[in-house]
Amino acid sequence: MKHIIFLFVILLALGCNPKYYSPNTQNVPLISEKGETNITLSGSGNQAEFQVAYGLSGSFAFKANGGLFIPPDLDNGNGGSGNFFEIGGGYYTPVNEKFVFETYGIVGFGSMENHLPSTVAASPQTKGDISAKILRFGIQPNFGYKSRNFSAAISSRIVSLNYSNIEGDLIFDGVNQLNYLEENKSNFLIEPALTIKAGLEKVKLQFQYGYSLNMSNSNFTQDKAFATIGLNFNFR
């Protein structure tokens, strides 16, 4: 069963239970000078994402990212889709010639929808749908090593995840999912990640692995681990 994911972003389910959140790729540009531009195209089998960052001055940078979640429906018709867009601005400083620290304030908006026609047989008065708007905001510090052909960084996205305009009539396993999402519409997340880039000076292969910790509700129905791969372009 598949549901919705952020991308971005936005919700995803790969098993039998609904899942209302799956973390998208973190934008970790490691900007180190004014005028530097960093662009990444990444994703996984069910999502596609873009990321961009730019050094506005010797200490401040801007970044933006977004994505789509567009997996194919399962044979029983269950599926979903979503979209997400995020912007951020913050401070960066080269610690020395090889290491960079940066931290960004981020805010993102998106929407999601789930359709589970397989639940209608047990709840014939419903259509098996649920949808909502999403707001996510917080901070993201990054620290990493950066060279001509390789970089590695650790980051942590610390955010408030919020749902609004929740609509539909999905009932799963006897539980009204609209009520469930209303009762859990505000969540505090800490999401550490490791990002590795390797290749040529201007074009590198990027791999990112991370984990999402829901500090306000450890039982919230969400994906926790995430991994994406992509291409990174850097211009100075």
Q: How confident is the model at residue 16 (pLDDT cuts 50, 70, 90)?
A: low
Of the chain, the percentage scoring pLDDT greater than 90 comes to 76
Q: What is the pLDDT of residues 167-204, one digit of tens each?
A: 999 999 899 999 999 999 999 999 999 999 999 999 99
Please give the average per-residue pLDDT across 6-31, as a whole number.
69
Of the chain, the percentage scoring pLDDT greater than 70 comes to 93
List CB contacts of 167: < 8 A, sequence separation 6 or more.
Answer: 130, 131, 132, 178
Whether 3 shows a pLDDT value over 60: the answer reads: no
Q: Give the other-Cβ count within 10 Å of 175's Cβ.
A: 11
Whole-number pLDDT of residue 77: 85
Whole-number pLDDT of residue 4: 35
Under CATH, which number does the domain 4-235 receive? 2.40.160.20
Identify which of 41, 156, 168, 64 has the alpha carbon closest to the alpha carbon of residue 113: 168
Whole-number pLDDT of residue 6: 42
Output the average pLDDT for the chain.
90
Please give the average per-residue pLDDT across 39-52, as a whole number.
93
Task: Name, of 6-20, 70-84, 156-170, the range with top average pLDDT.
Answer: 156-170
Whole-number pLDDT of residue 236: 85
Task: Name the DSSP letter for residue 117.
Answer: G
Task: Give the lowest-confidence range in 79-88, 183-192, 200-209.
Answer: 79-88
Please give the average per-residue pLDDT across 50-67, as a whole number.
97
Whether 20 shows a pLDDT value over 90: the answer reads: no
Strands (E), 7-59: 10-12, 37-44, 47-55
Q: What is the pLDDT of residues 118-146, one digit of tens each?
A: 999 999 999 999 999 999 999 999 999 99
List CB contacts of 116: < 8 A, sequence separation 6 or more.
Answer: 1, 3, 18, 78, 128, 129, 170, 172
Residue ranges per structural domain of the chain: 4-235
Whole-number pLDDT of residue 2: 37
Residues 187 and 222: their CA atoms lie apart, in Å, by 11
Residues 3 and 101: their CA atoms lie apart, in Å, by 36
Q: Are 45 and 2 in contact (CB under 8 A)?
A: no
pTM assigned to the model: 0.89
Q: How confident is the model at residue 9 (pLDDT cuts 50, 70, 90)?
A: very low
Please give the average per-residue pLDDT across 8-21, as a whole number.
55
Q: How confident is the model at residue 11 (pLDDT cuts 50, 70, 90)?
A: very low
